[in-house]
Amino acid sequence: MTTTGLDSPRPAAPGVDPAAPKRSLVEGTANRLVVCLVALVVLVLLGFASLFVGSGEIPASVVWEALRGDRTDTLALLVTDYRIPRAMIAVLVGCALGVGGALIQAITRNPLADPGLLGVNSGSFFAVVLSVTISGTANLSSYVWWSFLGAAVAAVSVYVIGSRGSGATPVKLVLAGLAFGAVLNGITYAVTFLDPDVFDKIRFWQSGSLQGRQIDTFWWALPFVVVGVLTAVLLSRSLNALALGEDLAKSLGVHLFRTRAIAMGALTLLCGAATAAVGPIAFLGLMVPYLARVVARSDQRWIVPLSALFGPVIFLGADVLGRVLVPSEMPVGVVVAFLGAPVLVAVVRTRKKSGL
């Protein structure tokens, strides 16, 4: 019996992510703008909600008086000096990690990729622990530059290792990042376990926490996140071409080395700022671009701005949820991990159905 090949599964088209839905749930520019508007409204509502909930509940009247500047007592200072900056930092970090996840998934062409996959988060984590070990202080001003240095060194090292031989490819970059990150994580955990003083100083930061963060943290991280996000937006067309495959991207005039290098530079800024501000956060960079692809499929011109909106919504929502679930407050990094695990399972199941 002869076969015509009509029943054979067709390979995925170049540049189309098999884990993305066959059609996006939201078609058309106007409808996608409505999604952005809804995300903004939800973000504003979560921002207001974050001012009311916490280990010490504050009456709504006190919050409104504090916002108007009519009160200057302890409760008002708790709102203006801690809860408002905390919400602002959550928005900034969510934006950074959401866009960072979109970048790493674009340059590796892997929907399972996370900013930690290239060792960037591990580099920041290691550098911060090294800074605390050397200086003995755990203030943001003392380790923020160490965080960027660690992220930059990790990104460059991974790219150099992944570029050996025939040049950088998504698979080689991922393997190099996993290996390099594993080495750095092993050294980092060894230092923290062997030095109780260092462990005590970074234990809340290590779990990914917004507790006690003040407005200076926001202003420190803001310029780096802005530059990183703008760079990602400007790269979106080149990243779309890169998704078509290296040969076709070259024929379209995309410089592969320059595009990947700039993208990794932006990733370094975003992840370095986020890690310095709140500590290492897992899964957020994985699930935010996945949700963005549900709306816009594989178009980076939409995925990047959608990730910049969905990231803050999820991160701030996780922070509010962590303050509601337990009286003593659950670190936001733990809540995000619980939320991200089902998304990881969903991505893996989708790819399995695609034969990958």
Residue 69 lies in a domain: no
CATH code for the domain of 324: 1.10.3470.10
Per residue in 186-215, pLDDT (tens digit) is 998 898 888 888 877 777 777 788 887 889
Residue 353 lies in a domain: no
Q: Is 76 strand, coil or helix? A: helix
Residue 253 lies in a domain: yes
* Spatial separation of the C-alpha atoms in residues 37 and 97, rounded to whole Å: 20
* Spatial separation of the C-alpha atoms in residues 41 and 35, rounded to whole Å: 10
Percent of the chain with pLDDT over 90: 26
Domain holding 278, by residue range, is 86-347
Residue 73 lies in a domain: no
Which of 212 and 339 is assigned the larger pLDDT? 339
Residue 58 lies in a domain: no
Strands (E), the chain: none
Instruction: Say what the pTM is.
Output: 0.84
Residue 260 lies in a domain: yes
Overall residue count recorded for the chain in this entry = 356
Residue 59 lies in a domain: no
Residue 206 contacts residue 279 (beta carbons within 8 Å): yes
Q: Would you report the helix, strand and coil content of the chain in percent, each value rounded to 5?
A: 75, 0, 25
Residue 10 lies in a domain: no
Q: How many domains does the chain have?
A: 1
Which of 318 and 2 is assigned the larger pLDDT? 318
* Spatial separation of the C-alpha atoms in residues 287 and 281, rounded to whole Å: 12
- Token pair 């998504």: residue: 170
Per residue in 270-300, pLDDT (tens digit) is 988 998 888 888 889 989 999 998 888 888 9
* Residues 6+ away with beta carbon under 8 Å from 162: 168, 169, 172, 173, 175, 176, 177
